[in-house]
Chains A and B, each alone.
Chain A
Amino acid sequence: MSVKIKRKQKVNTAIPTASMPDIIFMLLLFFMVATTMKQFTGLKVELPGAKRVEKMQSKRHQTTIWIDRQNNVVMDDFAVPEGEITKLRNMVYQKLVEDPQLVVVFQVDQKSEMGRLIDVQHEVRTAFVNGARVIYSAIPL
C-alpha cells in the first residue's frame, strides 16, 4: 500500500514551460506591430454623436485637424495661428506628397460653429486636387 502511494506522489505535476518563450515572443510581435508611436494630444474637444460611424483605417495614413469651441485650430502638433489659416494648404499638400493615401480626420467640437471648419475645409480641398478624403470624428450612439 505504502509503495503505491509513494509512486502516485512521484507523478510529475510541473507545468511544461519549454514553449513559454515562444508564446511570449508571439505576443511581443503582436504588440510591436499593433503599436503606433506617434500620437498627438491635440485640443480638448467634445465630439458629436452619430449612428452610422465607420472604423477608421490605420493611423499611418491619417492626419488630424482639431477645432475647438474657441475656434483654435491645431494640425497634428502645430497650432495654426488665427490669421494664417492659409498655411494649412501647404502643410496638407506636403503630407499628401509624402503619402498619397492621406485621409484628413476632423476632430471638431460639437458646440462650435461651421465657419472655421468651412475655412479649414477650403484649404484642405485646395491641397487635394481631386476629392479630399475626410472623416468627421464622432462617437457612436
Chain B
Amino acid sequence: MIKRKAKEPPEIPSSSLSDIVFLLLVFFLVTTTINVDKGLKQVLPPIKPSETKIPKKNLTNILIDPSGRILIDEEVVSVSQMYGIIKEKLRNEKMVFSLQTTRKTNYNIYIKVLDKLKEAGAKKISIAEPVDV
C-alpha cells in the first residue's frame, strides 16, 4: 500500500491554465492605453533668483503682450518672422532667450512662441516673471 501511494505523483490540473491566462491577457489588452501624450519640455527657474548677470549682448527679451503681439527686444514681429530672427541671434552661442508674458496673454500664443524657439534650435530658454501692463 505504501509503495503504491509513493508511485502516484500528485498532479495539479493544468488543462484550464491556458484559459485562465487567456482571460488575463484579454483583461490587460483592454485596460492598456499606449502612451501617446506629447509635449514641450521646459525647466522653470527657481523662485530665488540666482543672480547670475547675463551681459546684455547675450540676452534676448521676448515679450508677448495681452493682444498677442510678439516683441523681440521691443520690436514687433510676427510668428512667421521669428524663426529667421532667432536663427540670426543664435549665431552667438551664449544667447539666452528670456520669454515674458502678461497675465492676460493667450496661452496658445505662448506655446507657439516656445515652439518656434525650440524649432529654431534655441536651448537656453528662460521664463521670466510676468509683467503687468
Contact = CB atoms under 8 A, between A and B. Distances in A.
Interface string B71-84: 00000000000000
A14 B21 CA distance: 23
Q: For chain A, give the interface size range.
A: 35 or more
Interface string A42-83: 000000101111111011000000000000000000000000
A115 B110 CA distance: 12
B115 A52 contact: yes
Of A52, A54, A118, A131, most B-chain CB atoms within 10 Å: A52
B24 A114 contact: no
Given A133-B41, A135-B39, A138-B111, A31 B46 contact: no
A36 B130 CA distance: 37
A15 interface: no
Say what secondary structure dominates the interface of chain A: mixed
A94 to B, nearest CB: 18
A25 B21 contact: yes
Contacts, number: 136
B33 A52 contact: no
Contacts of A113: 103-107
Main secondary structure of the interface of B (DSSP, over half): mixed
Interface in A108-141: 108-115, 117-118, 121-122, 124-126, 128-140
B25 interface: yes
A20 to B, nearest CB: 7
Interface of A: 20-21, 24-25, 27-28, 31-32, 34-35, 37, 39, 48, 50-56, 58-59, 105-106, 108-115, 117-118, 121-122, 124-126, 128-140
Give 10 closest A-B pairs by Cβ, nearest first: A31-B28, A115-B103, A52-B118, A53-B38, A50-B115, A110-B108, A135-B39, A131-B43, A132-B44, A137-B39
Interface of B: 17-18, 21-22, 24-25, 28-29, 31-35, 37-47, 101-108, 110-112, 114-115, 118-119, 127, 130
